[in-house]
Amino acid sequence: MDIDDLKFHLPFITDSRLLEAMGKEAKIIEIDKGKSIMEPGQFIKMVPIVLEGSIKVLRMDEEGKELFLYYLEPGETCALSLTCCSASKPSEIKAVAEEKTTLLAIPVLKHEQWSDEFKQWKDYVSSTYQSRFQEMLKTLDAVAFKRMDERLMRYIVTKMKQAKANELHITHQEIATELGTSREVISRLLKQLENKKWIELGRNVIYIRDDFEELINK
């Protein structure tokens, strides 16, 4: 990728030397929707930065149950990946392309080198740790303190913002898997929201009112 493309996708990187290094050392990877780019137990060989599309990051337990943690949007990378890279440990998360996604893959050795050489890279890594820590605190709070109906409504808001749409193409089972509950529970709670006329349910699709976030905050 040339310097102008990097500037367009990563406007917060202004150090010309860092941009040149990224253009020289990084690779572009195209990921199809639904494809896993990282699995628990795999050793991470690159730091992925999202250029286009989005990545869904999940935590899995020993039985294979999944818990949604956060999304990676354009310009963002994964703090958990950075941690595993620095400690030379296998991945503890699963990362899946939520849509067709373009990644900038930074070699692990370059990540470590750039942390010492470029202040902007070090600052980018630090801000990533901070923002993802806050995201995981929200997830922990939701699991520990919020009822499932509250978690579901917040999940719907997150999906709306990620998709930039009021129409979510997703199954009840997929929602249940990401929230760590059963399909029956999710179906019942979605039906309650439909009875309130806050959403409308179709076949593997949820239509959501424009003021949904305002309604749940009242």
DSSP string, 19-85: HHHHHHH-EEEEE-TT-EEE-TTPBP-EEEEEEES-EEEEEE-TT--EEEEEEE-TT-B-HHHHHHH
pLDDT of amino acid 109: 87
* H helices present in 146-218, as ranges: 148-163, 172-179, 183-195, 212-217
Mean pLDDT of successive 10-residue stretches along the chain, which has 218 residues: 89 93 93 91 87 90 79 89 75 89 92 92 90 80 80 92 91 91 92 95 94 89
- Per-residue buried b or exposed e for 148-157, using 16+ beta carbons within 10 Å of the residue's own CB: beebbbbbbe
Identity at 31, one-letter amino acid code: I
* pLDDT at site 86: 67
* Tokens (6 digits) for 173: 């089972």
Q: Confirm whether pTM is higher than 0.85.
A: no
